[in-house]
Amino acid sequence: MAAKPHAYPPAEVEARLARDLPRWRYQDGNLYRRYETHGWKGTMLAIGAIGHLAEAAWHHPEIAASWGWVEVRLNTHDAGGGITDRDFALARKIEEVVAWQPARDGAGLDGPPADPRHAYLKYD
């Protein structure tokens, strides 16, 4: 039987979020992030990316969504609903993928055109 994962106390969760994931917050015992979108297309694309990452990691968040937003909530059931390294790792990967702005990373990809018809995520 695997050992129960270590759950961090709230003060340490807050400190790690401030240091490593400043756009995420600790809310109601979860790591929480809301992504704003430009509509249903962006919402569905974000959900698909999050779903892929969660399944690959075998760590499944709660996801809520509507026309212009996606909310992600993470905790570890094996740790009694506490926040563990698994939650921080998946939150980092979700942030890396969903909030990625190709034009800013200098890798030769331009990202979508500035034309509002192509916008799908509202970047922070």
State pLDDT tens for residues 32-62.
999 999 999 999 999 999 999 999 999 999 9
Q: Is residue 34 in a domain?
A: yes
Q: Of the ranges 40-49, 66-75, 115-124, which one carries the lowest mean pLDDT score?
A: 115-124
The encoded tokens of residue 40 equal: 């249903």
Query: Taking a C-beta distance cutoff of 8 angstroms, is the pair 28, 82 a contact?
Result: no
What pLDDT score was predicted for residue 2?
66
pTM of the model: 0.92
Q: What amino acid is encoded at 106 in this protein?
A: G
Stretch 59-86: mean pLDDT, rounded?
95
Q: Is residue 3 in a domain?
A: no
Q: Is residue 44 in a domain?
A: yes
Q: Is residue 106 in a domain?
A: no
Q: Is residue 32 in a domain?
A: yes
**How many structural domains is the chain composed of?**
1
DSSP 4: P
Domain of residue 81: give its range: 10-101+113-122
Q: Is residue 65 in a domain?
A: yes
Q: What amino acid is encoded at 68 in this protein?
A: G
Grade residue 26 by pLDDT with cuts at 50, 70 and 90: very high
Q: Residue 58, class by beta-carbon neighbours within 10 Å (0-12 exposed, 13-18 middle, 19+ buried)?
A: exposed
The enclosing domain of 92 has a CATH number of: 3.30.1360.20
Query: Taking a C-beta distance cutoff of 8 angstroms, is the pair 120, 41 a contact?
Result: yes
